[in-house]
Structure 1
Amino acid sequence: MRRFLFFAALLPIVPTVTEVVSAVSDCSEFLLDKTPPRVPGILEKGIILKQNRYQPICQTYGNKRRFLTLYDIENKIPVFSAYKYRGSKGKKPNVPWMIEPQLEGTNNMWDGQYKHQAINSDYLKPKKYNRGHLYPTCHAFEKEDKISTFTLTNIVPQAISFNSGSWQKMEECIKCVMEKYCVNNGMTEGYVVTGAQPGQNKLKDKVNIPSVLWSAFCCKSSQMEEWIASAHWGSNVSGSKEKQYLQTKTLEELSKELSTSGSRFEAFPGKRCPHHSTVAVFYPKLEARCQCPPKGFNHSIVQTNNHF
């Protein structure tokens, strides 16, 4: 039986199966209309262009699939994690971090080291970076879902102040938006894709430090009688206290930010999601605890970053 391992002193086995699958479509239940993002040079029209490098993982815990990750075994970080938001209850669990032995195979291990993925020791005693979830624990539905996010295949090196500052505020804000507006027939349901753009530096000369993190969500809102969507991205650098919020952008703006000259990036291919509007209009209606940008915050500031 294939199993996760807790990366602890004795490496005890956790009774759960995680699937490294052959195609993103094998775990499409976490994608809107079962359609994967289009990532230039990596994943286009549902096809992984370099199948020996980019590995799709059906992240499974307790014999149940929880979310999807496309993992880059060369950079040792995920390209993206995709999940369905169904609400969130309970506290953040205190559990060890997990790894994915299936990424290694029986012939790729040497001296107890992992060739194709980051391990917990890569993140110990960081000076500037810590473990940044792509599928955040605060967006996970129940205890088992929350535990499933603690796999290092769902993690990137993220600047500490960015992770606990503007990025965390964005996660809490969008959570509140989905809680209130992504409801149909009494059920909460929103689709989220969060990814990382590789940078030029490495953590401990091994794990790529992303230059940019990005996130997008889309859902149908019975309350608004329409589909709603927004996107965010930010440079993975330590920031000042004045830069407390990320600008809320449209899907089209995210597409322009991450597209290349030869290929278009799309978080949600298809016609359901609005590409030219955001949910910023809802922020004044949400509670202060949601940590959304205050009234008058300028969402039109455009960041310029390197492309894929």
Structure 2
Amino acid sequence: MSFIQRGLILGLFLLSGSSFASTACSNFFLAGTPPTVEASMTSRTTEVCHTEYVILDSGVTKGPLYSAQDLTAAQVAGSETISRTGSFHQETGIPAADRSQDSDYTNSGYDRGHMTPAGDESTIASEKESFSMGNVVPQEHKLNTGEWEKIEQQVRQLATNLGSVYVVTGPAFSDSSIPTIGKDGVAVPDYTWKAVYEPGIGAAAYVCTNDDNETCMVVSIDAITTLSGIDPFPALSSTLKANPISLPLPATAK
């Protein structure tokens, strides 16, 4: 079964149209428009606005459906002046019944994989916010500390070069039998993805299999929407969504 064919099997959610979520933090989204999410995925969702990113979390998966940023060169410059000091904590902006706990990951075999990375945050306070349990998914350690971290670095370099980029990051599930971890049943994704819009140029998305093979590639926005059920940039034209720009991949990525 091919990479994209697997992505068509959205067993966790039945595809039944899409929905624009309301938002209290439009500044993080391209044209102020939040991602569209398959309507059946919007049950028990909560938006939480932080200083430099926003999450839409699901009480079904007990994690983010997406995390979004307007990543600027100034923010990246600020991030280079601070040290990593955060520790993982509960996301109090999410109803208690819909949260994951730090303990869900203990001895699970998975890392707490940031969607918006701590390395993007420009102040100590905003870096601490990135350690919200609402901003992480179960991620294979080799991926999290390998190709995924390199992709995060590549995106920061793009923001530095271009002045700013819009970024939406999330998980994708491709099997009707979704593994979970912890007493709260945190869903383990098959993929993690990061969509990038370069202003005035176009968009594409990185997508990686959530395993120790570290298989990563660059695909179109249409492909990531098919894979995840989420359109990260609904304000873009159909032409831009169908035609991915070239994004730099780590040399070892497949």
TM-score normalised by the shorter chain: which range applies? 0.7 to 0.9
The aligned residue for residue 12 of structure 1 is none
CA separation of 1:41 and 1:135: change in aligned 2, threshold 3 A? same
1:85 shift after superposition: 0.4
Which of 56, 65, 70 does residue 79 from structure 1 map onto?
A: 65
The aligned residue for residue 207 of structure 2 is 233
SS in 2 for 1:26: coil
CA separation of 1:96 and 1:208: change in aligned 2, threshold 3 A? same
Which of 225, 229, 246 does residue 255 from structure 1 map onto?
A: 225
Indicate conservation of the 8 Å contact 1:76/1:118, yes or no: yes
1:30 shift after superposition: 0.6
CA offsets per residue over residues 83-102 of structure 1, 9 Å max, x none? 11023223442232221334
Amino acid across the alignment from 2:86: V
The number of equivalent residue pairs is 223
CA separation of 1:140 and 1:208: change in aligned 2, threshold 3 A? same
Amino acid across the alignment from 2:181: L
SS in 1 for 2:240: coil
CA offsets per residue over residues 184-238 of structure 1, 9 Å max, x none? xxxxx21110011246011125211112211101132xxxxx3232201122122
CA offsets per residue over residues 248-304 of structure 1, 9 Å max, x none? 222233234335xxxxx4210123693313233xx4xxxxxxxx4349x77xxxxxx
Which structure 2 residues correspond to residues 124-143 of structure 1 after superposition, within 5 A? 124-126=106-108, 128-143=109-124
SS in 2 for 1:168: helix
Indicate conservation of the 8 Å contact 1:92/1:137, yes or no: no
The aligned residue for residue 167 of structure 2 is 192
Structure 2 distance, partners of 1:229, 1:210, is 23
Indicate conservation of the 8 Å contact 1:92/1:146, yes or no: no
1:80 shift after superposition: 0.6
Amino acid across the alignment from 1:209: V
The aligned residue for residue 151 of structure 2 is 170
CA separation of 1:79 and 1:271: change in aligned 2, threshold 3 A? closer
The aligned residue for residue 270 of structure 1 is 235
Amino acid across the alignment from 1:101: T
Give the structure with higher Rg (CA): 1
Which of 178, 197, 202 does residue 180 from structure 2 map onto?
A: 202
The aligned residue for residue 219 of structure 1 is 198
Indicate conservation of the 8 Å contact 2:209/2:216, yes or no: no
The aligned residue for residue 121 of structure 1 is 103
1:41 shift after superposition: 2.7
CA separation of 1:228 and 1:121: change in aligned 2, threshold 3 A? same
Where structure 1 has 5 or more consecutive residues not aligned to the other structure, the ranges are 1-22, 44-48, 60-64, 105-113, 184-188, 221-225, 260-264, 284-291, 299-308
Amino acid across the alignment from 2:250: P
Greater helix percent: which structure? Answer: 2
**TM-score computed with the length of structure 1 as normaliser:** 0.65
**TM-score computed with the length of structure 2 as normaliser:** 0.78
Structure 1 distance, partners of 2:147, 2:32, is 30
